[in-house]
Structure 1
Amino acid sequence: MTAAPADLLIESPATSDGAALWRIAKESKTLDLNSSYSYLLWCRDFAGTSVVARGADGEPVGFVTGYLRPGRPRTLLVWQVAVDAAHRGCGIAARLLDGLAGRLVAERGITELETTITPGNTASERLFTSFAERHGARVSREVLFPADLFPGGSHDPEVLYRIGPLTESTAL
């Protein structure tokens, strides 16, 4: 893996980033693509629990979208992680995830991270299990949404990864 560029800027997204996030998600060819409108809303309403990586030109090259679960406000649910194809393999997704989790441990006192991954998505499995290892956290897995809950019958099950506890050392 090549190291992420030193001049990479990681910060909360702005609504003006919505179109770029939609494009990166669309071009990933692995994520469930939401409407372009939803990415604009996400950048407005969930900017505090999401991050974007900007290249030297200031344009987004990757992102993590997330939210605090309403019934479990110390749990960050990571919705999507994507990196532009030209920037993959440099550790950007891991830097984004570490930065977001660290900030939310410090600012909001989160103690747990959740995400869902479809079976066979080895890149996401590696990203989240290595995150847990770096932070000394446990990982539990269970099917959250079986395939038969999705309309059309063409969606794989979504496996819930629950990672925690996250501690102050995550914020360093």
Structure 2
Amino acid sequence: IADCPPLDANSAYCNLLQCSHFRHTSAVARKGGRLIGFVSGYRIPDKANTLFIWQVAVSAEARGLGLARAMLNDLVSRSENAGLLWIETTITANNDASWAMFEGFARSRNAMTKRTVMFDRHQHFGGRHDTEYLLRIGPVGP
């Protein structure tokens, strides 16, 4: 995560908890034993048919190869995620790579997208963080 700005860095402990507690909704990609991709997510408690993607990180050497989309497709196709209809994530306005990846994922699954403000720069972050837009994708199907 630390090598993939503009992502907010979490502690190693947080990342380990994500991979253990949310192992069915997180994915890693390795090349030659090295970690080159990571997706963390969780099923939203009040919306069991929705997977919230917290972070997507791909190392510089693996960017542009479709790895992030492949990890998302893997998550959607897992038997543990049967019944999943929607994917949600938040993205800042200037994160062009994330917008392109998630919108491309939606197109590849013939899914609709809807963008709304989730956390406002001033109202929620006191001006210290960019507005986070909620992107809802679906239905994503099996």
Please classify the TM superposition score into its range, dividing by the shorter chain length: over 0.9
Match of 1:93 among 68, 77, 90: 68
Question: Is the 2:24–2:81 contact (alpha carbons within 8 Å) kept by the matching residues of 1?
Answer: no
Q: Give the 3-state SS of the residue equivalent to 2:15 in structure 1.
A: helix
CA displacement, residues 87-138 of structure 1 (integer Å, 9 cap, x when unaligned): 212111111111112226x743100000000001110000111111000110
C-alpha RMSD over aligned residues = 1.3
1:5-154 equivalence runs, <5 A: 25-55=1-31, 57-103=32-78, 107-148=81-122, 149-151=124-126, 153-154=127-128
Find the residue that maps to 1:156 and give its secondary structure: coil
Shift in Å, 1:59? 2.4
Q: CA deviation at 1:165?
A: 1.0
Q: CA deviation at 1:61?
A: 0.7
- Verify: 1:163 aligned to 2:131, yes or no: no
CA distance in 2, matches of 1:45, 1:107: 15
- Structure 1 ranges of 4+ moved more than 4 A: none
Corresponding letter in the other structure for 2:4: S
List runs of 5+ in structure 1 lacking aligned partners.
Answer: 1-24
State how many pairs are aligned: 141
Counting aligned pairs with the same residue, the percent is 44
Q: Residues 42 and 52 of structure 2 are in contact (CA less than 8 Å); yes or no, is this contact kept in structure 1?
A: yes
Please report how far the alpha carbon of residue 80 of structure 1 lies from its aligned counterpart in structure 2 after TM superposition: 0.3
1:164 Cα deviation from its structure 2 partner: 0.7
Which has the larger helix fraction? 1
Q: CA deviation at 1:58?
A: 2.5
Quick check: which has more Rg, 1 or 2? 1
SS at match of 2:2: helix
The SS at the match of 2:98 is helix
**CA–CA separation in structure 1 for the residues paired with 2:84 and 2:129:** 30
TM-score under structure 2 normalisation?
A: 0.93
The whole-number CA distance in structure 2 between the counterparts of 1:163 and 1:109 is 15
